[in-house]
Amino acid sequence: MSTHYFITGTDTCVGKTWATVALMHRLRQLGKTVVGMKPVASGCTLSAGQLLNEDALMLQAAASVAVPYSLVNPYAYLEAVSPHLAGRQNPLKMDRVLACYAQLHALADGVLVEGAGGWLSPVNADEDNSDLAQALGLPVILVVGIRLGCINHAKLTAQAITAKGLHCAGWLASCIEPNLPYQQENIETVQAALAAPLLGVLPYQAVADFTGLASGLQLPEPG
């Protein structure tokens, strides 16, 4: 069973971080050691001279082994804008990301790498998240934010993953709106449209119960 995945989403703010942390908890429930990585993050805060990102801190805290923040989030930017804009003075370099990933890979059974924004969101002036996933050579788990428009977004993103030559190992339904009409019907429509298996539904929660969320998830089958 592969335990190394790239986590992408149909857009920004669709629940990628919660999904990644829930998957980390699921791996730990299955007796695996796991670490998370967010190669690039915008909208960071300065603390004791270091830029820190809330999502990356959640991944760091959820790891089953202690890892330095600089490996979890090697590129942290202050401005809450696209990384290709926020990082113009210190753009993401793929070699550095791959080196950090290799160190994390050596520390745990699994590494879950969370992208920034959607599948084709830029990470520097010339590359986007799809290039990052391709460089890492990881199968992809797609987080679909269940809201109006999600069917189109899910189908387009799944097609783009395949077009990049990467394997979409599964998808997660992330219920990001508390009272969405026809929520279950939307999930069923996406499930019928995607070839990748549905790995679980993350119900809407105002405060995350990651242990409970994890218990309802399955990991992709090998292959």
Residues 6+ apart with CB under 8 A from 151: 186, 189, 190, 193
Residue 93 bears catalytic tag: no
Going from the C-alpha of 111 to that of each of 71, 125, 127, the distances in angstroms are: 12, 26, 22
- Burial (CB < 10 A; 0-12, 13-18, 19+), residue 106, is exposed
Cα(61)–Cα(59) distance, integer angstroms: 5
Cα(217)–Cα(129) distance, integer angstroms: 24
Candidates 38, 93, 155, 164; catalytic one:
38
Would you call 121 helix, strand, or coil by DSSP?
coil
Active-site positions read 38
